Chain A
Amino acid sequence: MFGQLRALIHKDLLLDFRQLFGLGGIFLYVFSSFFIVYLSFGEVSGNAWITLYWIVVLFGSVNAVLKSFAQEDDSRNIYYYTISDPLAILLSKLFYNTLLVLIISGLSLLLFSLLTAYPMQENGFFALALLLGSLGIAANFTFVSAIANHTRNKSTMMMILSLPVIIPLLLPLIRLSIKCLGPATWAMVESDFTLLASVDLLIIGLSLVLFPFLSRG
């Protein structure tokens, strides 16, 4: 099982590094969206900064994760599903997409901080929030893109199917980020972290259980 996982992740990495336009396109997307907003708003601070940041990360991740499913055609996918366990495929995609979303959010953080002042005071809590948030976003988009891959307009379906579910993920995330703008104690952020962690677990658990039904046939 681990052998399969490693092989699949390796395959995804190779694909993305050989055709740089995929990843490069996404980073360009993130950078240009931020730049446009920054040009129109001028100085961005506090709550506006946080909202903008998470929106840019979200829309960048949608493209990234959808691409990871859509880039291979049907026959190749059938080949993968026959030679490896569907759970291994899901886990490998989950792991790879989480990495991708983490890189996107990290890079966006860097970009934002270069062009405007870095507003976070509680770095530790924010880093943990980034981790849990990226995991949840990646897990949700992975599952939904597995469904949306077979529909007629993929990106529209992706938005429609995933955005309602992303809300219980985004709400505690944005609340957490706002709390991290000033000094915060563990007691203040504990409930948000528990909610975030439980929503993450729920999404991952559901995808693990339901994915095999998607992959047969």
Chain B
Amino acid sequence: MSLKRDWWKLLGIILVIYSLLGGMLVPLGPGIVRVNPFRTTSGTTFVLSVQGYNSHYLESEVQAWLKLDEHHALKARLVEVQDNRHLEATFDMPVSFPRPDSINVLSVVLYNAVDGHSILPGAIFAKSMNGQISSAEGWRDVIVQVNESVTFHFPFRNILLETIRNTFFHVQLWLSMMIILGLSMIYSLLYLRKRSLQADQKAQAFASVGLLYGMLGIVTGMIWAKNSWGAYWSFDVKQNMAAIAMLIYFAFFILRSSIADQDLSRRFSAVYNIFAFLMLIPLLYIIPRMTASLHPGSGGNPAFGSQDLDNTMRMFFYPAIIGWTLLGIWMANLQWRYQRLLTDQLET
């Protein structure tokens, strides 16, 4: 193993270990897990107990607000901290609301100098006892706007919580898989143009690694789903599309073995590979976005896609993709070299 030739394999290993360690060890930022009770009425004194996550309520004074919208918020009269994770905030609900709705949805906002802002959106349902009168009296408190302190942590997202780490396992497997299957398609194209045996062997090797990554992606997704949705398989659109994508590549391998003539089988499977890859894109990307689904990032969920990544997560996400792709190329490399040895042996 010479470093000059195989430097990319070492780089792949380093990047994968780095992303695994970082992905598992970096703590999550502070946030609010739940509040209790979640209903209140106007004109009453309302004691809200808040449970936080990775928060430090004892270390600095905590201020709390009930936020109606950008211009209306109500500050807590009293905040009693029980420990780092639990506190009780007392609010004197005004007699009426700025809008003449009978039920208003309020968000809970906490601020402290150590944690910065924590928000639980849409947490409280406040009923107005005299819904005809609308007045902004009492809703004019201002939420402290301070630049956030710089600590290294992953963003806290409601519902996702710690499972946000799945980005480094599940999401990047799919992206690495797309890159590897793309490489497989390119080698199939090369085979059709130049009829070189090597190109076909490389295409097949990349397709098999791509299939492996796809299966791993589905399995990691299923483990996450059991935790978050309660079932391994919910017939969610993205899950179904992913399964179909795997079926397409299984069909590729079955096709290769079911044609008697070697030359014909290589040519036809190369054509099918190109066809399959180009059909994959509408399957995996366009159809799930058109329908509502349970998956984060579609249909009203706390949005989580590559547009929504925090800079801290990007530091581990991009190296993870590169590292896993390099590992995949290494696996495919071994496989087609083995195939080449077999065919060379047959010919001598």
Binding site for B on A (CB under 8 A): 143, 147, 150-153, 157, 160-161, 163-165, 167-168, 171, 191, 195, 198-199, 202-203, 206, 210, 213-214, 217
Contacts and interface: CB of A to CB of B under 8 A. Distances in A.
Contacts of A161: 251, 255, 272
B267 A213 contact: yes
A147 B258 CA distance: 11
B248 A165 contact: yes
B255 A202 contact: no
B258 A151 contact: yes
A217 B272 CA distance: 17
Nearest to B279: A165
B282 A213 contact: no
B272 A150 contact: no
B271 interface: yes
A195 B282 CA distance: 9
Nearest to B272: A147
B248 to A, nearest CB: 4
Given A150-B259, A150-B264, A206-B278, A164 B244 contact: yes
Nearest to B275: A206
B271 A147 contact: yes
Interface centre among A143, A147, A191 (most CB of B within 10 A): A147
B279 A213 contact: no
B261 interface: yes
Interface in B229-264: 240, 244-245, 247-248, 251, 254-255, 258-261, 263-264
Contacts of A198: 282
Range of interface residues on B (Cβ < 8 Å): 20 to 34
Interface stretch (B118-126, B283-291, B333-341): B283-291
A164 B152 CA distance: 44
Interface residues of B, dominant DSSP: helix
Contacts of B309: none
Interface residues of A, dominant DSSP: helix
B191 to A, nearest CB: 10
A150 B265 CA distance: 9
Interface centre among A161, A164, A167, A210 (most CB of B within 10 A): A164
B274 interface: yes
Contact of B258 (A152, A206, A210): A152
B267 A157 contact: no
B53 interface: no
B282 A217 contact: no
B236 to A, nearest CB: 14
A214 B279 contact: no
A203 B267 CA distance: 19
Contacts of B240: 167
Contact of A150 (B192, B244, B261, B270): B261
B286 A195 contact: yes
Contact of B268 (A150, A153, A167, A191): A150
Contacts of A143: 275
A195 B283 CA distance: 11
Contacts of A206: 274-275, 278-279
Nearest to A159: B251
Question: Which A-B residue pairs are the 9 nearest by beta carbons?
Answer: A151-B258, A164-B248, A164-B247, A160-B251, A164-B244, A210-B271, A147-B268, A161-B251, A165-B279
Nearest to A191: B290
B260 A202 contact: no
A150 B269 CA distance: 12
18 contacts: A147-B271, A150-B268, A151-B255, A152-B258, A152-B259, A157-B258, A160-B251, A161-B255, A164-B244, A164-B251, A165-B276, A165-B279, A168-B282, A202-B282, A206-B274, A206-B278, A210-B274, A213-B271
Contacts of A214: 267-268, 271
B287 A168 contact: yes
Given A157-B258, A198-B282, 7 more contacts: A153-B258, A161-B251, A165-B279, A191-B290, A206-B275, A213-B192, A213-B267
